[in-house]
Amino acid sequence: MRLDRRAVVLGLGGAAVDAAPLGVALAALAYDNPEDMYGALRQQPAEVLALGESRIRVVFADGAPGLDRARVLRWVQTAAAALTAYFGHYPVSDYGLLVIAGPGDRVGHATTFGYAGSATRIHVGVDADEAAFHRDWVLVHEMVHTALPDLPRRALWLQEGNATYVEPVARAMIGQLTPDELWRESILGMPRGVPGADEGGMDGTQAWGRLYWGGAIFWLMAEVAIYRDTSGRSSLRDALRRINRESGGNRADWPPERLMAVGDAAAGTTSLQHLYAAFAERRVAPDLGDLFRQLGVGLNAGGQVVFDDKAPLAALRRSITSR
């Protein structure tokens, strides 16, 4: 189930914890060091996908024996299409993807780096079928990480939250997820990001629920704040596109304050700067029930998603997943 799979450890330049069987763990060790990943991307044969001005270099680590290459490349193309839909173009000029084959029937963990070029190392089970690739969210999540500048460690929640928030939106934009699925996951997942009574601001948090879902709550609230402050003229997507263009993606190192200021300049507001200051420094416990009511989305007694198109933010909710 997808929500459980989100518990797979996704790293951002950190050490991934490997809970996989020994065979996978040994294969992973070969490229655990990011220098080895960059070396493989430079030296091993690559399949190059051209997307407008951008190119994606897919390297099958050591030949990735057992993997269906055509299937893997279709999966990469589809993920790239989701990113292109969201950002208006593929978000980085050069992206390296190291695909490491291992046992299993699904996409495994992944880690993304930027300091020596935008790149991701990802583990793929040789028994993963078409449905497993269709369900996969990990690759789009990692690609989203490359679109924004790298941030200091204290702001990891902004990066994980952004990838958690944008990934299903981008996939919904190309029809890989339905709006129902996106909102169901948000309604079920975001409560995991609400701070406990004894927790403070988001900066420096290490708690998994807060890093991913707490960060996603921030970006959903940013979506609402920009919409309200501009009477619907600008969107979070506009802000993130500007941030992507000005930074060139995760090869750049920015402080979070600059990221917010550039996003606000695109939208003509100060929404992001205000929201960031509040979340970073002190405990913000959002009323998620009220937020979803205003967006006009909820779950009925049977657990099915129901929409209310008369809700005050229903138009925003619909615009989030439309192209």
Q: How many residues bind Zn ion (CB under 5 A)?
A: 3
CA distance 194 to 209: 8
Shorter beta-carbon distance to Zn ion: residue 142 or 229? 142
The span of 3-11, 216-224, 235-243, 265-273 binding Zn ion (CB under 5 A) equals 3-11
Query: Closest separation between CB of residue 10 and Zn ion, Å?
Result: 4
Q: Give the residue, chosen from 163, 166, 211, 262, that forms a contact with Zn ion under the rule CB under 5 A.
A: 163
DSSP for 267-298, written as a single string: HTSSHHHHHHHHHHHS-----HHHHHHHHTEE
- Cα–Cα distances (Å) from 207 to 5, 193, 194, 214, 261, in that order, read 17, 9, 11, 9, 27
Binding to Zn ion (CB under 5 A) within 72-111 occurs at none
> How many CB atoms lie under 10 A from the CB of residue 68?
16
CA distance 27 to 23: 6
Selection from 229, 319, 214, 208 nearest residue 274 by Cα: 229
DSSP for 37-96, written as a single string: HHHHHHHS-EEEEEETTEEEEEEEGGG-TT--HHHHHHHHHHHHHHHHHHHSS-SSSEEE
Q: Give the residue, chosen from 8, 10, 67, 138, that forms a contact with Zn ion under the rule CB under 5 A.
A: 10
Shorter beta-carbon distance to Zn ion: residue 20 or 267? 20
Contact 276, 159 (CB under 8 A): no
Query: Closest separation between CB of residue 110 and Zn ion, Å?
Result: 8
Shorter beta-carbon distance to Zn ion: residue 169 or 313? 169
Query: Closest separation between CB of residue 167 and Zn ion, Å?
Result: 9
Query: Closest separation between CB of residue 165 and Zn ion, Å?
Result: 11
Shorter beta-carbon distance to Zn ion: residue 108 or 296? 108
Shorter beta-carbon distance to Zn ion: residue 72 or 163? 163
Residue 222 binds Zn ion, judged by CB under 5 A:
no
Residue nearest to Zn ion (CB): 10
Name the one residue in this structure whose structure tokens are 């589809």.
78
Query: Closest separation between CB of residue 1 and Zn ion, Å?
Result: 19
The span of 8-16, 98-106, 257-265, 315-323 binding Zn ion (CB under 5 A) equals 8-16
Query: Closest separation between CB of residue 156 and Zn ion, Å?
Result: 9
Binding to Zn ion (CB under 5 A) within 143-162 occurs at 160
Query: Closest separation between CB of residue 146 and Zn ion, Å?
Result: 11
Buried b (16+ CB within 10 A) or exposed e, 73-110: bebbebbbbbbbbbbeebbbebbbbbbbbbbbebbbbb
Shorter beta-carbon distance to Zn ion: residue 214 or 296? 214
Shorter beta-carbon distance to Zn ion: residue 10 or 172? 10
Contact 217, 286 (CB under 8 A): yes
Shorter beta-carbon distance to Zn ion: residue 208 or 307? 208
Query: Closest separation between CB of residue 249 and Zn ion, Å?
Result: 15
Q: List, in order, residues 6 or more apart from 36 with CB less than 8 Å away.
A: 30
Judged by the rule CB under 5 A, the positions of this chain that interact with Zn ion are: 10, 160, 163
